[in-house]
Amino acid sequence: MQRHRIGVIDSGMGGLTVVRSLCLAGVPLDIVYVGDNANVPYGNRPLTEIVALTERMLDVLDGRRVEAVAIACNTISATVDVLESRSKIPLVDIIRPAARAIAGLSEPHVGLFATEFTVQSGLHAKLIHKANPAVTVHGVASARLAALIDSMPWDEAAIREEIASMIAKMRRVGLVRTVLLGCTHYPIVQNVFEELAPDMRFIDPAGLQANEVLRAVGVATAPAKSSQPASEESAISQEVITSGDPAAYRQMLDKLGIPPAQRFTQL
């Protein structure tokens, strides 16, 4: 099977949830991950700064000659219209496939947990409403959760407290039973969401984006998924380029069951 070289970008380690889904697909891949942990979270920054920081990551990936880039960050994905006109590489955002999936559920009310920028952009709501006008999106933003998840070791009490606060705000709507995790950091602690709100369904869109980026590089149909990420070197190779701490990445890769990266490079 032909190998493909894919870039994945995020403001921090949340995009590793998309890497996990790519590994589960069973396709031979060279993955180049760029995480700008020194500036996490992007969701508290203005548009011009988000675009400038993202262009720096895309320039790095252009030098690595990747075939396509998965924007494994909802905040960056909310700026994709700006980025696509400037990028030399095909970009696959995470919002559009998630919006299509949510619209297809035909639930009249759905929730969105995300960063402040993502919620304020309104892009999820716009795309979901365009696909299914009967759906209303109720967004709850967090300025803290992505950074808390990105900080190793975790402050588990603070993470739990922030998630409880987000769920309480969503419950005030009174109509939501399904919530999209609209920040790639959030599925890392999906078990906490599920524990605190067992009556709600939480959707991780990482697999949807993984399938989309595979199609972008010419893999028409992803092979049957295995229960564990492929560990053979011949199946997956990974380089992590980060402005953060490689040791934190090693911990997170292990926590998510992703094979170790062969190389770490400073961003």
Q: What is the DSSP string of 11-62?
A: SSSTTHHHHHHHHHTT--EEEEEEE-GGG--GGGS-HHHHHHHHHHHHHHHH
ω before 153 within 30° of 0 (cis)? yes
23 is catalytic: no
* Residues 179/203, Cβ–Cβ less than 8 Å: yes
Look at residue 5 and give its three-state secondary structure. Answer: strand
Q: At what angle do helices 206-216 and 16-24 cross, to 10 degrees?
A: 60
User: What distance in Å separates the CA atoms of residue 166 and residue 181, rounded to the nearest whole number?
Assistant: 11
**Which candidate, 109, 40, 52, places its Cα nearest to that of 79?**
52
Q: Which residue of the set 16, 137, 183, 258 is catalytic?
A: 183
Angle separating helix axes 246-255 and 16-24, nearest 10 degrees: 50
- The shares of helix, strand and coil residues in the chain, as percent rounded to the nearest 5, are 45, 20, 35
| Matching residue, tokens 């060279």 | 30
The single residue of 6, 72, 73, 92 carrying the catalytic annotation is: 73
Of 159, 150, 162, the closest CA to residue 252 belongs to 150
Q: Which residues are catalytic?
A: 73, 183
